[in-house]
C-alpha cells in the first residue's frame, strides 16, 4: 500500500470512528455493533503501525497516549473561570430575577440546567481539533490536563461541524463520575487498603490530578458540557441554541436543559427535580440558572467574583431523625479509630440508613451525643451519612454518656490519642484491622521494595492466616506460595528471591517500612542519622527526639508510643533474627548538601527524580516537592514546570543538572 492511499484511508477511518464514538458515548444510540466498531479501530491501528508518520495527536488511537507527566503545566484562562453566587431559597431566586430585569429593563429568558457535582474544566478547540484542556485552578490560572481529558471518550477529539466559529471555541463543562463507577472505585480501593473517596466529586478531582493518563483512563470519567464562556460569533445569539448546535458538533451537552420564559418556570423546574434527581445516575446538588441571550449578558456584566447574569441554586441537604442505639468503634487501615453511630434504621433519600459517622471523640462531646438519643442525620454527596445534632427535647433521662474506650476493639492493644490530634490510634503493627495495608506499605518501593507482594497476594496470605505480621513474610517458602491459587512455581521463586534481597535494604528503609505513625522517609532519615541503630532509637526520650530539627512533638510522641508496645518490640526482635538491618553502616557525609533543601523540576537525564532525592537525603540534605522561601536550590531538568517559575519569582537559587552533579561528585559513589 502506498503512503497516499494509506493517508486517505486513515483519514476516512478516523472520521468514521469519531462519528461512531459520538453515537455511542454521547448520544447513546450506536448504529453499528461493537464488533464492527472494533474492526474499524483495528484497521486504523494496523495502518498507523505501518505508517507511524501518519499518527496525529487527535487520532482516536491516541486517547490514552503519552508518558506519565512529572507535573502539570500552568495555563492562563483568557476568560476567567468565575464561580457562581449560590442561593438556597425561592425568595432568593425571585430576588435574582428582579435584579436582572432591573439591569436590562425588559423581561428575559433563562436557561436552566441541573448542577452536576463534579469538577469544572475548560476545553479549547482550534480548527475543530481538541488542543487544550485545563482545570479551573484559581479561576485565572489552572493546570493543563489535556492528556487526562483526552481519555474521556465523550470528549470529541475532532468536531463534526463546518461552522468556523464553532470550530474555534472554548467550552466549559463538568467532569464527573457516575454513582456506579464511584462505588466500584471505592470498593477496589478498600480491597487494596487505600483510603476511600468521600464522594464522587472528590473521586473525580483526585483522578484528574493523576499524572499518568493510563491510570486516569481506568477510572471511566465522563463529562457534561454546559457553558460557552464567550459568544462564538455574531450569528450565535442565544446560549441555549448554540449549545444545541454543539451537541450536533459532537459534544455531550448536559441533559435536561430547558429554556424558561420567566422565573416561575425556573421555580417549577426546581421543584420537579428536587426528589427526582435521586433517580439519575450521577450526583446533582442544585441548578444553574443563566440569562440566555449573549447580548443581555454583555449588558449585565460581572461583579469581581461572579457574573451578574447567572446564579446557582442549591437543594437543601437531606435529613432524618432516628434513635441512636449504640456507638461502636471502627479501626481503619491506618490504625485510625473512628466512632460509628448504630441507628434504628430509617429511610433517607432512597436508601435505608443504619450507620452514620460521628467523626471523633471531640465531635461527640461538642454535640453532646448520648447513647439512646434521638439524632438528626444528614446525607449529602457523602458515602456515609453523618450525625449533625441531637433532638434534646426527646430526652428521657435514660440516655448514657459515651466513654471512649482505651483499647483497640480489634486487637485489644492500648490505643493512643496524641496532643493536638483528633483521632485515637491503634499503633500495633500486627493489628488484624491494619495488617493488609501495613504489609503493602512494608513491601513498597521506598520501604523493603519486595516486588510481587501485591494486594491480591497479601489478601490471600492474610486471609489464610499464613502471614499475621511482617516477620511471617520471611518464613515463606516457594512451596507455600506456589500452592496458592494462580501462583506458578517460577513467580513464587521470584517472590522468594525478592524477599531474600530485601534483607539488604538500608536501616533507613527498614525503619520507614515499620510504618510508625507520621514517620515517613524524611523523618526516618533524620532518626537514622541521629541514632545510628534501633536500640538507641527505642530508648530515646521525648527530649532527645524533639531536639532533632524536623522532628516535632506529635512525631516524637508517636515514636515513643510505638516502642511502648511489647508486640512491636517483639516484632523488631523477630525481624532482626530474620536478618534485616537495624543499624547504619555509613556515616552520612558532611558535604555541601548538609541541611540544604532541594527541589527538582523537569526531567533529569542521568537519574530519575526518586534517585536524585534519595541521593540528597543520603548526603544530609532534604528533598522537597514544593518551592518556598526556605528552598536552597531548585534543580532544573528538561521541560521544567511551574516550580521553575515560582523559584524565579522567589529568587531561589536555580541550578541545572550538571551543576548538581558537580556538587555531589565527591560524595557519589
Stretch that binds Zn ion, among 129-137, 378-386, 430-438, 570-578 (CB under 5 A): 430-438
| Distance in angstroms (rounded) separating the CA atoms of residues 317 and 319 | 7
Catalytic residue among 42, 115, 179, 501: 115
Whether 153 is catalytic is: no
Report whether 642 contacts 73 (CB < 8 A): yes
Report whether 49 contacts 10 (CB < 8 A): no
Is 426 one of the binding residues for Zn ion (CB under 5 A)?
yes
Binding residue count for Zn ion, defined by CB under 5 A = 6
Q: What is the DSSP letter of 23?
A: I
| Distance in angstroms (rounded) separating the CA atoms of residues 226 and 114 | 10
| Distance in angstroms (rounded) separating the CA atoms of residues 45 and 402 | 64
Output the smallest distance, CB 471 to Zn ion, in A.
18
Nearer to Zn ion, 187 or 569 (CB): 569
Nearer to Zn ion, 431 or 496 (CB): 431
Query: CB-based contacts of 95: which residues, under 8 Å, 6+ apart?
Result: none
Nearer to Zn ion, 411 or 664 (CB): 411
Nearer to Zn ion, 225 or 438 (CB): 438
149 CA to centre of own chain:
15
Burial of 237 (0-12, 13-18, 19+ CB in 10 A): middle
Is 438 one of the binding residues for Zn ion (CB under 5 A)?
no
Helices (H), 503-590: 507-513, 521-531, 534-538, 542-546, 553-564, 566-578
Output the smallest distance, CB 214 to Zn ion, in A.
36
Of 516, 466, 329, the C-alpha closest to 411 is 329
| Distance in angstroms (rounded) separating the CA atoms of residues 640 and 629 | 19
Stretch that binds Zn ion, among 431-439, 456-464, 514-522, 602-610 (CB under 5 A): 431-439
Is 337 one of the binding residues for Zn ion (CB under 5 A)?
no
| Distance in angstroms (rounded) separating the CA atoms of residues 170 and 132 | 9
Number of Cβ atoms within 10 Å of the Cβ of 69: 18
Stretch that binds Zn ion, among 136-144, 282-290, 420-428, 618-626 (CB under 5 A): 420-428
Residue of 228, 431, 437, 516 that binds Zn ion (CB under 5 A): 431
Is 634 one of the binding residues for Zn ion (CB under 5 A)?
no
Output the smallest distance, CB 555 to Zn ion, in A.
20
Site mask, Zn ion, residues 227-256, x = CB under 5 A?
------------------------------
Output the smallest distance, CB 514 to Zn ion, in A.
15
Half-sphere exposure of 173 (CA within 13 A, CB side): 25
- Residues between 379 and 418 with contacts to Zn ion, criterion CB under 5 A: 408, 410-411
Nearer to Zn ion, 320 or 462 (CB): 462
Stretch that binds Zn ion, among 90-98, 212-220, 309-317, 419-427 (CB under 5 A): 419-427
Output the smallest distance, CB 447 to Zn ion, in A.
21
Output the smallest distance, CB 442 to Zn ion, in A.
17
Interface residues with Zn ion (CB under 5 A) are 408, 410-411, 426, 428, 431
Q: Catalytic amino acids?
A: 115
Amino acid at each position: 500500500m502506498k503512503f497516499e492511499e494509506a493517508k486517505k484511508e486513515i483519514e476516512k477511518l478516523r472520521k468514521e470512528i469519531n462519528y461512531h464514538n459520538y453515537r455511542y458515548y454521547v448520544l447513546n444510540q450506536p448504529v453499528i455493533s461493537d464488533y464492527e466498531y472494533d474492526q474499524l479501530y483495528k484497521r486504523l491501528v494496523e495502518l498507523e503501525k505501518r505508517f507511524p508518520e501518519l499518527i496525529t495527536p487527535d487520532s482516536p488511537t491516541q486517547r490514552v497516549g503519552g508518558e506519565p507527566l512529572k507535573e502539570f503545566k500552568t495555563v492562563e484562562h483568557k476568560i476567567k473561570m468565575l464561580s457562581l453566587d449560590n442561593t438556597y431559597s425561592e425568595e432568593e431566586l425571585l430576588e435574582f430575577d428582579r435584579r436582572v430585569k432591573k439591569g436590562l429593563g425588559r423581561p428575559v429568558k433563562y436557561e436552566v440546567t441541573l448542577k452536576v457535582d463534579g469538577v469544572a474544566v475548560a476545553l479549547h478547540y482550534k480548527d475543530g481539533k481538541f488542543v487544550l484542556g485545563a482545570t479551573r485552578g484559581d479561576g485565572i490560572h489552572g493546570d493543563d490536563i489535556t492528556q487526562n481529558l483526552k481519555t474521556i471518550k465523550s470528549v470529541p477529539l475532532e468536531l463534526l461541524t463546518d461552522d468556523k466559529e464553532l470550530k474555534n471555541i472554548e467550552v466549559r463543562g463538568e467532569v464527573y463520575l457516575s454513582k456506579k463507577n464511584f462505588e466500584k472505585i471505592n470498593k477496589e480501593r478498600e480491597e487494596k487498603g487505600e483510603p476511600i473517596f468521600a464522594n464522587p466529586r472528590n473521586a473525580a478531582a483526585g483522578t484528574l490530578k493523576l499524572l499518568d493518563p493510563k491510570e486516569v483512563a481506568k477510572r471511566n470519567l465522563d463529562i457534561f458540557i454546559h457553558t460557552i464562556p464567550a459568544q462564538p460569533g455574531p450569528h450565535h445569539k442565544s446560549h441555549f441554541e448554540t449549545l444545541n448546535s454543539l451537541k450536533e458538533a459532537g459534544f455531550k451537552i448536559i441533559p435536561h436543559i430547558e429554556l424558561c420564559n420567566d422565573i416561575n418556570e425556573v421555580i417549577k423546574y426546581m421543584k420537579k427535580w428536587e426528589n427526582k434527581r435521586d433517580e439519575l445516575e450521577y450526583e446533582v446538588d442544585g441548578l444553574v440558572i443563566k440569562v440566555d441571550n449573549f447580548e443581555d449578558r454583555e449588558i449585565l456584566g460581572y461583579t469581581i467574583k461572579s457574573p451578574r447574569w447567572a446564579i446557582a441554586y442549591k437543594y437543601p441537604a437531606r435529613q432524618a431523625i432516628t434513635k441512636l442505639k449504640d456507638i461502636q468503634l471502627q479501626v481503619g487501615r491506618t490504625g485510625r479509630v473512628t466512632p460509628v453511630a448504630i441507628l434504628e434504621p430509617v429511610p433517607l433519600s432512597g436508601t435505608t440508613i443504619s450507620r452514620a459517622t460521628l467523626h471523633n471523640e471531640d465531635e461527640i462531646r461538642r454535640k453532646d451525643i448520648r447513647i439512646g438519643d434521638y439524632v438528626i442525620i444528614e446525607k449529602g454527596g457523602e458515602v456515609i451519612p453523618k450525625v449533625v445534632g441531637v433532638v434534646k427535647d426527646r430526652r428521657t433521662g435514660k440516655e448514657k454518656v459515651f466513654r471512649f474506650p482505651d483499647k483497640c476493639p480489634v486487637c485489644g492493644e492500648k490505643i493512643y490519642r496524641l496532643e493536638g490530634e483528633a483521632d485515637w490510634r491503634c499503633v500495633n503493627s500486627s493489628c488484624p484491622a491494619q495488617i493488609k495495608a501495613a504489609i503493602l506499605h512494608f513491601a513498597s518501593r521506598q520501604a523493603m521494595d519486595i516486588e510481587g507482594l501485591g494486594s491480591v497476594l497479601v489478601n490471600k496470605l492474610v486471609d489464610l492466616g499464613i502471614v499475621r505480621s511482617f516477620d511471617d513474610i520471611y518464613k515463606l517458602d516457594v512451596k507455600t506460595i506456589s500452592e496458592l491459587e494462580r501462583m506458578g512455581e517460577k513467580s513464587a521463586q521470584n517472590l522468594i528471591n525478592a524477599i531474600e534481597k530485601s534483607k539488604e535494604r538500608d536501616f533507613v528503609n527498614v525503619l520507614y517500612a515499620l510504618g510508625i505513625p507520621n514517620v515517613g522517609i524524611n523523618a526516618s532519615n533524620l532518626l537514622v542519622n541521629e541514632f545510628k541503630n534501633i536500640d538507641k532509637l527505642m530508648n530515646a526520650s521525648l527530649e532527645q527526639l524533639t531536639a532533632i530539627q524536623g522532628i516535632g512533638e506529635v512525631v516524637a510522641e508517636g515514636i515513643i508510643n510505638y516502642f511502648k508496645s511489647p508486640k512491636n518490640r517483639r516484632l523488631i526482635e523477630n525481624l532482626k533474627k530474620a536478618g534485616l538491618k537495624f543499624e547504619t553502616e555509613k556515616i552520612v557525609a558532611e558535604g555541601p548538601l548538609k541541611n540544604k533543601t532541594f527541589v527538582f523540576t523537569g526531567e533529569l537525564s542521568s537519574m530519575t527524580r526518586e534517585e536524585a532525592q534519595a541521593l540528597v537525603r543520603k548526603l544530609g540534605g532534604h528533598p522537597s516537592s514544593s518551592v518556598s522561601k526556605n528552598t536552597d536550590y531548585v534543580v532544573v531538568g528538561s521541560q521544567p514546570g511551574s516550580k521553575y517559575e515560582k523559584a524565579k519569582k522567589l529568587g531561589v537559587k536555580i541550578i541545572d543538572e550538571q551543576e548538581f552533579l558537580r556538587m555531589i561528585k565527591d560524595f557519589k559513589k
